[in-house]
Structures are given as C-alpha cells and as structure tokens.
Structure 1
Amino acid sequence: MSATAETPLRIDTGEELDRIVDGHDVVLAEFYTKGCTLCQSIEPVLGNVERATDARVVMLNPETDLSLVEEYDIRSVPTLVLFEDGQRVARLAKGFQGAEEILGFIEEHTDDR
C-alpha cells in the first residue's frame, strides 16, 4: 500500500480497515452501499482528495461486515470517518460533499504535516 495512491482502496472488513489505519498517519474511510447514487458520485471526488492530501482514502460497504454498522454508527451513506494516528477523530454524514468541503474537513480535524 502506498500513501501516494491515486484512487481510493476498496476494502471489505473491519480488520482490513484496522490494518490500514495502523499503517498510515491519516485515513479517510467512506462507508457506502451498492446502488447509492450519492456514494457513486462521491467516488471520483475521493480520488481527487487522495491526490491532494497525504490521507489514505478507503471505501467500505458495511454490508460486507455488518459489525461496522454499529461500531461506526452508520445511519446514512455516504458517511466519512477520519482517522489520525490510529484514532477516530471526526465523521461527516451530510450526503454528497465536494472536494473542497472534504479537504476542509480533513484540514480542520488533523494536525498540519
């Protein structure tokens, strides 16, 4: 896994998420569901976010690991959860967000690197 990847990484389980969070300083996880048009729309935005930041962006469908729904309190999709230094620091669950909003969200909730 490269911290300079250009596309979000699709993962299936909480264990995979834990490994990625442990291996990167900043991780942005998008929780989505299949068929969600807002989730499909945000995917290219997340690619732009990954190219513009040091954050590793991952995408998870909680239907593949239902324990994620409760653990991360997923009530709507897309939901973005931000991790820094292995800790959950913020979440954003306001539907579709553009790159500027997501970049601002990351900047607001992480230390300058």
Structure 2
Amino acid sequence: MALYDVNDAGFKEEIGSGLTLVDFWAPWCGPCKMIAPILEELAPEVEGKANIAKLNVDENQATASEYEVMSIPTLILFKDGEPVDKVVGFQPKEQLAALIEKHA
C-alpha cells in the first residue's frame, strides 16, 4: 500500500498503526506538484517501514485544521496515529527518507 489518498472520514483509521508520512497538499500548489514525483519514487523504497498518504486540504479541511496545517506542502509523520515529526515546504527525497528512518 505504498502511496495512497486519505480523507477526513477515514483519516484516523488510515494512519492508526505503524509509520505514515502524510502529504497535506492541494492541486493548485506549485511546490506540491514538485514533491509529488519524489513521494511516488520514495514510496516503494520505504514500503514495509512506512506508508505515504496524500490528503487534499481543499477537500479535507477538518483534518488539515486539526493538525494546524497553515502552509502547503506540509508533511507530517505519524507513528501509531500520533504526529511525531513535521516539515513544511518542498523537501528533497534524501531528507524525507532520513525523516522516516529517524522514526522507523
């Protein structure tokens, strides 16, 4: 289940166990478009260690608000449903891999 979409309705269940990196993004966001292929490339490399999920903030404002997402892209790393790390803005693949590794 390498890279998948999540929404307000099932968010807590989707990120409830293990390590999940959630990309809070929107279709109109330039840096979000730049990070998307990086996440697609990273997902199979971290499979078994972490999942990567994408949440469209325009369509899922309740979750974005709950985790105080003010700028996008914001990437929050959840461990067993609890946020353990957060980065804002475009990040290179190496930094995202290191973030996951730090909590794996």
Does 1:67 pair with 2:59?
no
SS in 2 for 1:42: helix
In 1: Cα distance, 2:62 partner to 2:43 partner: 26
Aligned residues: 102
TM normalised by structure 2 equals 0.87
- The answer for unaligned runs of 5 or more in structure 1 is none
In 2: Cα distance, 1:73 partner to 1:98 partner: 23
Q: 1:38 aligns with which of 25, 31, 37?
A: 31
Where do 4+ consecutive residues of structure 1 move more than 6 Å? none
Q: CA deviation at 1:57?
A: 0.6
TM normalised by structure 1 equals 0.81
Deviations 1:22-48 (A, max 9, x none): 2x4110000011211110111111112
In 1: Cα distance, 2:42 partner to 2:94 partner: 8
RMSD: 1.4
Does 1:9 pair with 2:20?
no
- The answer for unaligned runs of 5 or more in structure 2 is none
Name whichever structure is richer in strand by fraction.
2
Does 1:85 pair with 2:101?
no
